[in-house]
């Protein structure tokens, strides 16, 4: 997960432990400078959607159950995994 300001500057990035659900760490990373959140499908849970809506932060989380095609391949490439 990465958090950006309105002008595109990365202000936070997070990787969670293997035994922890990724979606549960979002609230710990957000701060007052956040304007956009980019994250994979693990962060697509109602609690995070509600949190971003309440804080009026642009939500760029990949959706579950939706073929995000190229976005998924780019995310996998960036993380060093391939199909």
Instruction: Classify residue 58: in a domain, yes or no.
Output: yes
Residues 6+ away with beta carbon under 8 Å from 29? 1, 3, 12, 13, 14
Instruction: Classify residue 30: in a domain, yes or no.
Output: yes
| Continuous segment of H or E residues that includes residue 53 | helix 46-54
Give the pLDDT confidence of 25-65 residue by residue, as tens digits.
Answer: 888 888 888 898 888 888 889 999 999 999 999 988 878 77
Instruction: Classify residue 64: in a domain, yes or no.
Output: yes
Predicted TM-score of the model (pTM): 0.70
More confident residue, 64 or 71: 64
Residue 78 predicted with pLDDT over 70: no
Give the pLDDT confidence of 10-33 residue by residue, as tens digits.
Answer: 888 877 777 887 777 888 888 888
pLDDT at 67: 67
Instruction: Classify residue 83: in a domain, yes or no.
Output: no
Domain that holds residue 63: 2-78
Q: Which residues pair with 61 in a beta bridge?
A: 39
């Amino acid at each position: 997960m990465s958090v950006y300001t309105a002008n595109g500057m990365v202000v936070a990035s997070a990787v969670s432990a293997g035994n922890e659900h990724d979606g549960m760490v979002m609230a710990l990373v957000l701060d007052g400078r956040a304007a956009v959140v980019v994250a994979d499908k693990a962060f697509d849970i109602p609690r995070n959607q509600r949190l971003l809506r309440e804080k009026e932060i642009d939500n760029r989380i990949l959706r579950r159950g939706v073929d995000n095609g190229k976005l998924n391949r780019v995310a996998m490439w960036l993380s060093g995994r391939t199909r």
